[in-house]
DNA sequence: GCAAAAGTGTTCTAGGTACACCCATGT
DNA sequence: ACATGGGTGTACCTAGAACACTTTTGC
């Protein structure tokens, strides 16, 4: 037992994990194994250890519950309405994480009840206030596309400009002009030609590119 | 005594309060009355009550420690390095608040040890990780000037365009062109002419304006 | 040879920047 | 009358938007 002179809230981290899969923006959810909201879908997350940094907690819970590591992580907001969890007062520090499909393939293990990907435009009613949180995360993601290199976090090490354009289109929900897109991306000076070509289908092969700084998100424009 | 099966961190809110005073951007700090960091300057803030919403806590602590109410409040980030407070694990939800000078005059009471305003460009070494937090808040404030109507939160009910321009200049730290500034602000469609004039000094009186929606911060551009 | 995506430039438009003079008041 | 800040318009420039055809491959 751990006792305090004044009541203390519990603190959790939750993570909104996005990836591009099946030609759409998808969202990783877990099925809750226990009450409250048993068998409801929810964001992965859990309680902060008493000596654990907040983002370390987010990464640990993500790995424990979904097997996923090596993501880009960014703090989104902190929610703490007094009645958001029926058990006790819980304050949740929310992160959003972005994941490229190659990292996704490599680590598909899980120790949670159930883990599944959902379309970010069509997902079930979630536990707690998680629907509102996902909306907020989606909004932030779309906003950051226009003034940062954040979309590169969705890309595998090598990719074509058309693949990158498709990522933009899926997140923004609108088609973009190919020539203007290439002009703009290349002027950001965040990509380098890989030298390789991708022989995809019955058409001209596409040049492969890599991010100059795959682990950084830079502000541009 | 309040006891839990697992250890719980303490949760606080801290508030970075900015205002425009003495023709500069200033910052409200309190002098800590007790350990740790006794008699160091720090951000106003304190522990979240167990049934209290987070922003309600920020507003309450602000009023208790500085007498200030009626501010614009926005969540900035949450910090929680395990060793940031020597007493116990403390996670702090940080807000920033903006205050117009007229609200400031009206409520100058205080129940804290000492309260004082400092230049946002020259303030002392603060308790905890508060220096880093203030930097972050200043940065966010400057960024939001360019894509929102946030600067209006610094203005009294009635103000002139020159006064508003001065606010922009003080925060950004650079002079702006008068004609371009007026064109841009008026094209945002966030101001209405008050009808009144301000007879300031030995020069032509200035038109007074009011914010169309004084309690909202809108995104523009 | 045909279907399919890759790759490539120019024109137009709008918004931002640079810039100088007259106006209304107080002293 | 003069000193002070208030108020106004235009020319230029740059970045974003619109837009169509040739290239290279697989089948």
Query: What is the rounded distance in angstroms from the CA atom of residue A131 to the CA atom of residue A137?
Result: 10
Q: Give the number of A-B residue pairs with CB atoms closer than 8 Å.
A: 92
Residue at token pair 């203030």: B134
Mean of per-residue pLDDT scores for chain A = 94
Strand, coil or helix: B127: coil
Angle among Cα B153, B157, B158 to the nearest 5 degrees reads 120
pTM of the predicted model as reported, rounded to 2 decimal places: 0.94
Q: What architecture does CATH give domain A150-216?
A: Orthogonal Bundle (1.10)
Give yes or no for CB of A221 within 7 Å of strand D.
Answer: yes
Classify A158 as helix, strand or coil. coil
Nucleotide in closest CA–C1' contact with B221: C15
Predicted confidence band of residue B221 (pLDDT cuts 50, 70, 90):
confident
Distance from CA of A80 to the nearest CA of B (A): 6
- Band of pLDDT at residue B101, cut at 50, 70 and 90: confident
Check whether A28 has a pLDDT greater than 70: yes
What is the distance between the alpha carbons of residues B116 and A114, in angstroms, rounded to a whole number? Answer: 54
B103 band by pLDDT with thresholds 50, 70 and 90: confident
- CA distance to A4, A59, A142, per residue, from B8 (Å): 9, 19, 35
pLDDT of residue B3: 97
pLDDT at A105 over 70: no
CA B205, B210, B215 angle in degrees (round to 5)?
155
Please give the nucleotide, over all strands, whose C1' is closest to the CA of residue A207: C6
- Which residue intervals of B37-98 are DSSP H helices? 54-66
Domain boundaries, chain B: 10-144, 150-216
| Residue of A111 and B142 predicted with greater confidence | B142
- Dist. CA B133–CA B75, nearest whole Å: 12
Q: Which nucleotides of chain C does any protein CB come within 7 A of?
A: 3-10, 16-20, 23-27
pLDDT, mean of residues A153-162: 97
- Kindly indicate whether the domain formed by B10-144 is annotated with CATH number 3.30.300.350: no
Contacts of B78 in chain A (CB under 8 A): 54, 75, 78, 93
pLDDT for B109 equals 57
Q: In this complex, which of B50, B77, B78 lies closest to A7 when CB atoms are compared?
A: B50
pLDDT of residue B136: 98
The pLDDT mean for chain B works out to: 94
Percent of chain A at pLDDT exceeding 90: 89
Neighbours of A198 (CB within 10 A): 15
Lowest mean pLDDT among B110-114, B129-133, B197-201: B110-114
Is the Cβ of B5 closer than 8 Å to some Cβ of chain A?
Answer: yes
> Gap from B208 CA to C26 C1', in Å?
19
User: Residue A112: is its pLDDT beyond 70?
Assistant: no
> What pLDDT score was predicted for residue B112?
63
Task: Tell the burial category of A108 from Cβ atoms under 10 Å away from its Cβ (0-12, 13-18, 19+).
Answer: exposed
Residue A25 bridge partners (DSSP): A20
Query: Where is pLDDT greater, at B102 or B94?
Result: B94
On the question of pLDDT at B106 being above 60, the answer is no
């Amino acid at each position: 037992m751990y006792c305090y002179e004044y009541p203390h809230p519990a603190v959790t981290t939750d993570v909104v994990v996005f990836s591009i899969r099946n030609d759409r923006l998808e969202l990783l959810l877990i099925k809750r194994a226990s009450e409250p909201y048993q068998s409801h879908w929810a964001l992965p997350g859990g309680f902060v250890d008493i000596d654990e940094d907040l983002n370390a907690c987010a990464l640990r819970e993500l790995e424990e519950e979904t097997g996923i590591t090596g993501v880009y992580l960014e703090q989104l907001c902190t929610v703490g309405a007094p009645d958001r969890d029926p058990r006790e007062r819980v304050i949740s520090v929310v992160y959003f994480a972005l994941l490229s499909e190659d990292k996704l393939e490599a680590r598909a293990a899980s120790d949670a009840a159930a883990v599944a990907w959902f379309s970010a435009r069509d997902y079930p009613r979630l536990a707690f206030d998680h629907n509102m949180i996902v909306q907020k995360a989606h909004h932030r993601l779309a906003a950051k596309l226009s003034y940062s290199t954040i979309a590169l976090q969705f890309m595998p090490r090598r990719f074509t400009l058309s693949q990158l354009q498709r990522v933009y289109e899926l997140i923004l929900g609108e088609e973009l002009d190919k020539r203007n897109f290439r002009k703009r991306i290349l002027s950001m000076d965040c990509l380098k030609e890989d030298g390789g070509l991708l022989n995809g289908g019955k058409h001209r092969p596409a040049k492969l590119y890599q991010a100059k700084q795959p682990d950084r998100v830079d502000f541009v424009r």
